[in-house]
Structure 1
Amino acid sequence: MLSLPVQPAPAQFAAIFDADTQAAIASGLCIQCRGAKLLCGKARCPILVRWDFMMKTAPMIDRVEMDGSSPPGVFVGRFGYPRVYVGPLVPPVHGDTQILDSPEAWIGHSMEDIVHFRSQLVRGMHRVHVQDVDGGGRIVEQTRELALGTSPADVEVGFSRKPHGRVVLDDNVQPFGPSAPLRRLDVGTLKVDPNLDRAFSDTDLRAKEAVVDLYGRGTPVSKIQRAFSVGAFGMEKNRRFVPTRWSITAVDDTIGKQLRDRVEAFPLVNEIRVYEAIGFDDRFLVVMIPRPWRYELIEAWYPNTLWNPLGRDIVMFGDHEGFDGRTTYASIGGCYYAARLAVGEALNRERRQAATVILRETHPGYIMPVGVWNVREHVREALRRPPQRFPSMAATLAYLQTRLDIPMSRYLHTSEVLQYVLHQRTFDDFDLLTRGSVPAAPT
Structure 2
Amino acid sequence: MGKRITSKFKPQNKWVREMVEGDPHVASTLDVTSDMLKLQAPSQSLCSVCKGGKMLCGKTTCPIMARLGAFSSMFQSIKGTEIDGSSPPSVFVGRFGYPYVHIGPLSPTFYGNTEILDAPEQWFGKSIDEIIGYRSQLIRGMTPVNVRKPWKAGKLLDQTRELSLAEHYVETEMKLTKKPTKRFYMNGDIQPIGPTAPLENVDIGYIKWNRHMEKYHYDTDLKAAPATIKLFENDVPLSNIMRAFSMGNFGIEKNRRLVPTRWSITAVDDLLGKHLTKKIKDYPLINHYEVYESNYIGNRFEILLMPDAWCYEAYEAWYPRTLWNPDEE
Q: Which TM class, normalised by the smaller chain length?
A: 0.7 to 0.9
CA contact (8 A) 2:55 2:61 kept: no
**Among 32, 39, 56, the residue aligned to 1:7:** 32
Aligned position for 1:90 = 107
Instruction: Read off the aligned partner of 1:297 and give its amino acid letter.
Output: A
- Cα distance in 1 for partners of 2:111, 2:317 equals 41
Let me know the Cα RMSD of the aligned residues.
Answer: 2.5
Aligned position for 1:416 = none
The alignment's TM-score, normalised by the length of structure 1, stands at 0.62
Aligned position for 1:166 = 184
Structure 1 residue matching 2:248: 3-state secondary structure: coil
Deviation by residue 1:269-308 (Cα, 9 ceiling, x = unmatched): 2211111111111100111111122112211123565xx4
Map 1:29-178 → 2, pairs under 5 A: 38-40=53-55, 42-164=59-181, 165-166=183-184, 171=189, 174-178=191-195
Query: Structure 2 vs 1, CA of residues 8 and 275 (structure 1 numbering), >3 Å: closer, same or farther?
Result: farther
Deviation by residue 1:17-36 (Cα, 9 ceiling, x = unmatched): 994334444xxxx6xxxxxx
Aligned position for 1:282 = 299
**Among 224, 230, 237, the residue aligned to 2:241:** 224
Give the Å deviation of 1:5.
6.4
Aligned position for 2:15 = none
Give the Å deviation of 1:15.
4.5
Query: Structure 2 vs 1, CA of residues 65 and 249 (structure 1 numbering), >3 Å: closer, same or farther?
Result: same
Are 1:312 and 2:326 an aligned pair?
A: yes
Query: Structure 2 vs 1, CA of residues 266 and 192 (structure 1 numbering), >3 Å: closer, same or farther?
Result: same
Aligned position for 1:403 = none
Are 1:209 and 2:209 an aligned pair?
A: no
Deviation by residue 1:334-382 (Cα, 9 ceiling, x = unmatched): xxxxxxxxxxxxxxxxxxxxxxxxxxxxxxxxxxxxxxxxxxxxxxxxx
CA contact (8 A) 1:69 1:153 kept: yes
- Cα distance in 2 for partners of 1:170, 1:255 equals 27
- Cα distance in 1 for partners of 2:92, 2:186 equals 12
Unaligned segments of structure 1, at least 5 residues: 31-37, 315-405, 407-443
Aligned position for 1:300 = 317
Higher relative contact order (CA 8 A, sep 6+): 2
Give the Å deviation of 1:10.
11
List, as ranges, runs of 4+ consecutive aligned residues in structure 1 with deviation greater than 3 Å. Answer: 8-13, 15-20, 22-25, 38-42, 45-48, 167-171
The alignment's TM-score, normalised by the length of structure 2, stands at 0.83
Query: Structure 2 vs 1, CA of residues 46 and 213 (structure 1 numbering), >3 Å: closer, same or farther?
Result: closer
Structure showing greater Rg: 1
- Cα distance in 2 for partners of 1:168, 1:195 equals 39
Structure 2 residue matching 1:192: 3-state secondary structure: coil
CA contact (8 A) 1:148 1:197 kept: yes
- Cα distance in 2 for partners of 1:15, 1:60 equals 23
Deviation by residue 1:119-155 (Cα, 9 ceiling, x = unmatched): 0011111110112344420000010100000100010
Aligned position for 1:20 = 46
CA contact (8 A) 2:242 2:268 kept: yes
Q: % of aligned pairs identical?
A: 42
Give the Å deviation of 1:263.
1.9
**Greater helix percent: which structure?**
1
Deviation by residue 1:298-320 (Cα, 9 ceiling, x = unmatched): 11123565xx47x5259xxxxxx
CA contact (8 A) 1:169 1:176 kept: no
- Cα distance in 1 for partners of 2:240, 2:186 equals 20
Give the Å deviation of 1:106.
0.6
Instruction: Read off the aligned partner of 1:166 and give its amino acid letter.
Output: F
Aligned position for 1:267 = 284
CA contact (8 A) 1:74 1:87 kept: yes
Deviation by residue 1:88-134 (Cα, 9 ceiling, x = unmatched): 11111111000011111111000001000000011111110112344
Query: Structure 2 vs 1, CA of residues 109 and 100 (structure 1 numbering), >3 Å: closer, same or farther?
Result: same
Give the Å deviation of 1:39.
4.1
Give the Å deviation of 1:221.
1.0
Structure 2 residue matching 1:125: 3-state secondary structure: strand
Instruction: Read off the aligned partner of 1:272 and give its amino acid letter.
Output: Y
Map 1:408-423 → 2, pairs under 5 A: none
CA contact (8 A) 1:126 1:182 kept: yes
Instruction: Read off the aligned partner of 1:7 and give its amino acid letter.
Output: V
Unaligned segments of structure 2, at least 5 residues: 1-28
**Among 209, 215, 237, the residue aligned to 1:198:** 215
Query: Structure 2 vs 1, CA of residues 85 and 313 (structure 1 numbering), >3 Å: closer, same or farther?
Result: farther
Structure 1 residue matching 2:153: 3-state secondary structure: coil
